[in-house]
Amino acid sequence: MNGYGCLAAYYDRLMTDFDYEGYLSLLDREIEGHEGVDLCCGSGRITTALARRGKKVIGADMSAEMLGEAVKNARAAGVNPLFVQADATTFRPQHSVDFATCVCDGLNYIKPKNLAVFFENAACFLKKGAKFVFDVSSEYKLKKIIGSNVFFEDYDDLTYLWTNTPFAGGVKMELTFFIRGDDGKYTKQTEEHTQYAHKQSAIEEAMTGKFSYKAYDFSTMGVVGSKTTRILWVCERL
């Protein structure tokens, strides 16, 4: 199985190490205007939080399963943003918007050859001066921390194994889930993901002529270093 067919139902539960509150604090400072797009929105954590702040925001993602979780999360929070199944390199809202986000590795799923297309598309639907905030897991993280390592978590109702196979441009990931049913028996499901290790220079080259930008180490909000694990960009549409 490819994509988020199984992971979607457990994604938020397994992503407790991601600093959503820190990210939202940054967005509160940086983004202006009322309407925006959350690309690669996943389970809709950012989309929903922005909607609760009064923003009119569209969440776009390729995975129908993740969008299903996003809708449930938004309803539980008492908001009703629009969610759309769409490719981040081609999706455009019906009119120009005030901001865009792409949070937690969304860009790592875009092939290197499509980076320029991704930013060209975003530039087409963002107003002049609009902010675009996004991040990537760094080349260092994918090659040195994830690399060929194996990770796992074990709960009463779920055990999963995450095995990684690096290649020249990134990492192929295989996730294996053992899920306990109501009868106490476990079923096995697997799915595969590919994340691409984009160089900082390649991303910034793809933005040339479309956005001005500043890059930060997400954990410190300081200068990006050789061992930065997540790079955050705050960009402005030219």
Q: Is the pLDDT of residue 59 over 80?
A: yes
Class of domain 14-138+198-237: alpha beta
- pLDDT tens profile 152-174: 999 999 999 999 999 999 999 99
CATH for 141-196, among 2.20.25.110, 1.25.40.10, 3.40.1000.10, 3.40.30.10? 2.20.25.110
CB 176 within 8 A of CB 7: no
Domain segments of the chain as ranges? 14-138+198-237, 141-196
Q: CA 116 to CA 130: how far, in whole Å?
A: 18
- Buried b or exposed e, range 47-65, using 16+ CB within 10 angstroms: bbbbbeeebebbbbbbbeb
- Res. 15 pLDDT band, cuts 50 70 90: confident
Q: What is the pTM of this model?
A: 0.95
Q: What is the mean pLDDT of residues 2-20?
A: 86
Q: What is the mean pLDDT of residues 46-69?
A: 97
- pLDDT tens profile 89-101: 999 999 999 999 9
- Distant-in-sequence, close-in-space partners of 225: CB < 8 Å, separation ≥ 6: 217
In 11-125, beta strands by DSSP E: 35-39, 56-61, 82-85, 97-102
Q: What is the pLDDT of residue 184?
A: 87
The 8-class DSSP code of residue 141 comes to I
